[in-house]
Structure 1
Amino acid sequence: MTKRLDDVERIAREAGDAIMAVYAREFSVEEKADKSPLTEADRAAHEIIVRELNALPEGIPVLSEEDIDAFSGPDEKGRYWLVDPLDGTKEFIKRNDEFTVNIALIEQGKPVLGVVVAPALGTAYLAAEGLGATKVDPFGTRHTLQVAGRPETTTPWRVVGSRSHPSPYLAEWLNTLGKHEMLPMGSSLKLCVIAEGKADVYPRLGPTCLWDTGAAQAVVEQAGGRVETLQGEPLSYATPSKKLNPHFVVWGHRDIHDT
């Protein structure tokens, strides 16, 4: 698994370099059928990732946000690569640096490997079953990730929220949670800050797709956290034909009886 994780990190960083080449200059923005934005950086990263994943020896199918129709389904072992070439395109367009490259390996409906690269921040988050979770800082130093655990009763919950996708249901959910402080953030970085213990919970009560969460979910889980639906079930990737995730919550602790 170590070699596989190294390969995926390399591929994600190469895609990140292509994204940054576009980020450094003027670029045009198109609108996809679902009204979401698309830039040449999305396309460039997609082409690199798909080419390089397909060049790996195992021949695992690839599901990328930018070419859904090319995906024929998981292989006979229930495996597929799940890719968001540029997560946080709105953040990319705003030039606030909070965008990522997401690559996950799904096996029997579960993300068993995840790489999240934030090229403008110079950081990467890596995780795989049996290897734990790691953050690589801009200097190349690797730090083992561990969630913070449930906050003390007198301590406010540190809640991560979306910069670009507010939810009308969030206020009600937060009232139930209790005393809290908000940390707005874009892209899959919201899950990663929980994995590194800088936040406690991320409620996502709005639409997301599988490729938005798969890689960062692996990071959270390998750091000791959990990503679950409002019914308390793990967020699953077993049916990739259903692209939308249900509403979910990311918790920076393991005890399901302690929320």
Structure 2
Amino acid sequence: MKDLINELIKISKEAGKEILDVYSSYISVEYKEDKSPLTEADKRSHQVITDSLEKISSYPVLSEEGKDIPYNERKNWEYFWMIDPLDGTKEFIKRNGEFTVNIALIHKNRPVLGVVYAPAIDTLYYGGKDIGAYKINNNETADLNSIKPSEEYPKRITVVASKSHLNEETKEFIKMLENFYENVETTSIGSSLKICLLAEKKADIYPRIAPTMEWDTAAAHAVLNAAGGRIIRYEKIQNLQDLKDLPEIEYNKENLLNPHFVAIRSDVF
């Protein structure tokens, strides 16, 4: 597993180089049928990742580009790669640095290995079953399981809120939290870095009561699981403790749209 992680780190950084090459020049934007943006960086990163994964394993690859693979074919996959070559294309176009390369290994509908690389800030998160969760920044590796939550928890909790999807139901959820905690603060960051904030205990809860696709979350989900956190299916609740009994989201469903979810760091309750 360690050798595989090293390969994934190498691949994600090679994809990141392609992204930054486009990032430093003129960014030409196309729009897909769903009106979401697509850039040359998406395409170049995707090519690097798929070509490289073919060299290290025989597992199939699932991404937005392969979303039309029939469910009858992929439902029998025991292992497969779930990738997002450029998560946060809108952030990339805005040039705010909050975009990532996401590579996850899925086993029986669960993410068991994940790498999330933010090339603009040269920060990488990785984690998986039985290996733990780590962050590499400035060539220094930090064990995310050794990081303690803020000393102010539970008097103060930090909620990660999406900049572009702060809808009324999300606001209601945050308001509900105010019934349980003395001080609820919010923070925001782009792409799957939101989930990584939970893995390194810089935030406590991330409610996503808005659409996401499986490739948006899979890699960071693996990192969060390895750090002791969870991504659970969202349901309207009256008591915060009820979240503990809700199931985690799964992957390779017939419909690749994620259910609404709440991501929580380890020991948040």
TM-score by length of 1: 0.92
Q: Give 1:191's match in structure 2, choosing from 173, 195, 203.
A: 195
Aligned to 1:66: 65
Q: Conserved in 2, the CA contact under 8 Å of 1:208 and 1:244?
A: yes
Aligned to 1:249: 262
Distance in 2, matches of 1:125 and 1:211, equals: 16
Distance in 2, matches of 1:2 and 1:214, equals: 19
Deviation of 1:68 after TM superposition, in Å, equals: 2.3
Deviation of 1:248 after TM superposition, in Å, equals: 0.4
Give the letter for the 2:27 counterpart. Answer: F
Q: Conserved in 1, the CA contact under 8 Å of 2:209 and 2:234?
A: no
Give the letter for the 1:73 counterpart. Answer: R
- Structure 2 vs 1, CA of residues 154 and 80 (structure 1 numbering), >3 Å: closer, same or farther? closer
> SS at 2:206's partner residue?
strand
Deviation of 1:54 after TM superposition, in Å, equals: 1.1
> SS at 1:55's partner residue?
helix
The equivalences for 1:166-205 within 5 A come to 166-178=166-178, 179-205=183-209
Any idea what the Cα deviations from partners look like across 1:156-202, whole Å, max 9, x if unmatched? 21011112333221111111111311101110000001101111110
Distance in 2, matches of 1:254 and 1:226, equals: 10
Deviation of 1:32 after TM superposition, in Å, equals: 0.5
CA RMSD between the two structures: 1.8
Q: Conserved in 2, the CA contact under 8 Å of 1:87 and 1:187?
A: yes
Moved segments of 4+, more than 4 Å: 147-154
Aligned to 1:222: 226
Distance in 2, matches of 1:247 and 1:162, equals: 13
Aligned to 2:47: 47
| Unaligned stretches of 5+ residues in structure 2 | 236-245
Q: What percentage of aligned pairs have identical amino acids? A: 44
Q: Which range moves more in the overlay, 6-15 or 58-67?
A: 58-67
| Unaligned stretches of 5+ residues in structure 1 | none
Distance in 1, matches of 2:104 and 2:128, equals: 9
Distance in 1, matches of 2:209 and 2:151, equals: 22
Aligned to 1:87: 87
Distance in 2, matches of 1:8 and 1:75, equals: 24
Q: Give 2:216's match in structure 1, choosing from 182, 196, 212.
A: 212
Distance in 2, matches of 1:216 and 1:148, equals: 19
Distance in 1, matches of 2:161 and 2:122, equals: 22
Distance in 1, matches of 2:2 and 2:262, equals: 29
Which protein is richer in helix relative to its size? 2
Distance in 2, matches of 1:39 and 1:141, equals: 31
Q: Conserved in 1, the CA contact under 8 Å of 2:82 and 2:218?
A: yes
The equivalences for 1:23-42 within 5 A come to 23-42=23-42
Distance in 1, matches of 2:98 and 2:116, equals: 12
Give the letter for the 1:140 counterpart. Answer: N
> SS at 1:164's partner residue?
coil
Deviation of 1:66 after TM superposition, in Å, equals: 2.6
Q: Conserved in 1, the CA contact under 8 Å of 2:149 and 2:202?
A: no
> SS at 2:168's partner residue?
coil
